[in-house]
Structure 1
Amino acid sequence: MHVVILGCGRVGASLARSLAEREHTVAIIDKDPNAFQRLGPDFDQITVRGNGFDREVLAKAGAARADAFVAVSSGDNSNIIATRVAREHFGVKNVVARIYDSKRALVFERLGIPTIATVRWAADRLLRQLLPREQSHLWRDPSATLSLVELQFHEDWIGHPVADLERSTGHRVSYVQRFGKATLPTASMVLQDGDKVCLFVGDAEAGQVEAIAAAPPPGGEQ
């Protein structure tokens, strides 16, 4: 696979080295020639100096034969423009852009440009560490209508089959994390103390589902 990367900062350089170690071919673009020093002396892939949204620069990087294009420069506008040029002019189907502005990320996701909103992601992860009980969603889709949530279930659910919780909430459990390992639920799986139950739920239903899980199961303790 040939991958073109815009931005030879810490992320771009690390990604380029990782791809090269996996025996993929890489071309990395940056305006600053000193940035390529981050790649190390043993990096033997293509480096191109210039603007990542310039067609000639992209052509030098092999965009016409690229299987993927990744834009991780420090500028949102540059990343988006370069990604669109790679996709629309060079026909690269697998494209992704790093975006700092989370509002822009949502807009471009809806336009079909996959984005990684690093600030939003980092802030969410920090909030989960600081306020675990106030941050139930593990992932939210770009349209902000569907979330993967971790249910805080009442202690009386312990000993009940996962299927009972599914029937009460009206939602299928996606996975159960037990002793640090994620496991797909089975028909016979019983909830244990310390389990983390995760499922997908629409934002409109999340509050009701969380309230049902937080209350004792219907009919009292098993």
Structure 2
Amino acid sequence: MYAIIVGCGRVGAQIANLLSIEGHNVVVIDRNSPSFNRLGANFNGITIVGSGYDLEVLEDAGIKKADALAAVTNEDNVNIIAAQVAKTIFKVPRVIARIYDPKREELYEEFGLDVIGGTTLFARLIMDKLIEKSITHFLSEDYGMDIIELKINDDLSDLTMEKIEEKERVKIFAIIRPDEAIYPQKNMYARTGDILIAVGETKR
């Protein structure tokens, strides 16, 4: 997949790193070059300094061949404009915009934009941490599937990713450790303290 990430804050950098680890072609656009320091030494993609809705910048980023674009800056207006340009002018097949103001979500969805609001996601994350759940569900139950944060304790340590997937009935797509994010292989072993990002069926 050829993906463009607009915004290299913590969210954008994390998405870019995970996609890069998985072997996708990734281009990151940000107006401030120091932001690219968040990507780390193992990032294999391309970085471009500029605005995520500037036509020339987007063309330099290869948007005409892009399969996906995620606009995840800290400004709603920038994200929406970048998403609109990608969707309407360049016909990018998959476009997602991050929205901070929950009041705007429904309006932008009416325009045909795929938007993700942080309010609901972080509310659920904070709630789960307050009651000390070992599994955190990030997505709405309306979709039937959740993105899950699974914290590895002693019961799951020393098991392979394949065994954990069978035991927890999930599909793991990232391992988060203090100093790195890893794309999992089935024969890799979990360590106590690992955080696994996975997809699982919503428990109703």
Alignment TM-score, normalising by the size of structure 1: 0.59
Matched, 1:126 2:126: yes
C-alpha displacement at 1:54, in angstroms?
0.5
C-alpha displacement at 1:128, in angstroms?
5.9
C-alpha displacement at 1:182, in angstroms?
6.4
Matched, 1:48 2:48: yes
Counterpart Cα distance in 1 of 2:54 and 2:44:
23
Match of 2:6 in 1: 6
CA change 1:104–1:22 in 2 (3 A) is: same
CA change 1:46–1:197 in 2 (3 A) is: closer
Q: Over aligned residues, Cα RMSD in angstroms?
A: 2.7
**1:182-215 CA-partner distances (Å, limit 9, x unpaired):** 69xxxxxxxxxxxx961xxxxxxxxxxxxxxxxx
Match of 2:19 in 1: 19
C-alpha displacement at 1:130, in angstroms?
5.6
Match of 2:94 in 1: 94
CA change 1:182–1:78 in 2 (3 A) is: same
Match of 2:80 in 1: 80
Counterpart Cα distance in 2 of 1:121 and 1:63:
29
**1:74-125 CA-partner distances (Å, limit 9, x unpaired):** 1000000000001111110200011111111121122221111012321244
CA change 1:42–1:95 in 2 (3 A) is: same
- Which aligned pairs between 1:169-188 and structure 2 lie closer than 5 A? 181=168
Match of 2:158 in 1: none
Match of 2:140 in 1: 139
Counterpart Cα distance in 2 of 1:42 and 1:121:
28
Alignment TM-score, normalising by the size of structure 2: 0.63
Give 1 or 2: higher strand fraction.
Answer: 2
Matched, 1:114 2:109: no
C-alpha displacement at 1:59, in angstroms?
0.6
Larger radius of gyration between Structure 1 and Structure 2 = 1
C-alpha displacement at 1:129, in angstroms?
6.1
Q: Which runs of 4+ in 1 moved over 4 A?
A: 127-131, 180-183
The letter of the residue matching 2:80 is: I
Match of 2:31 in 1: 31
The letter of the residue matching 1:79 is: N
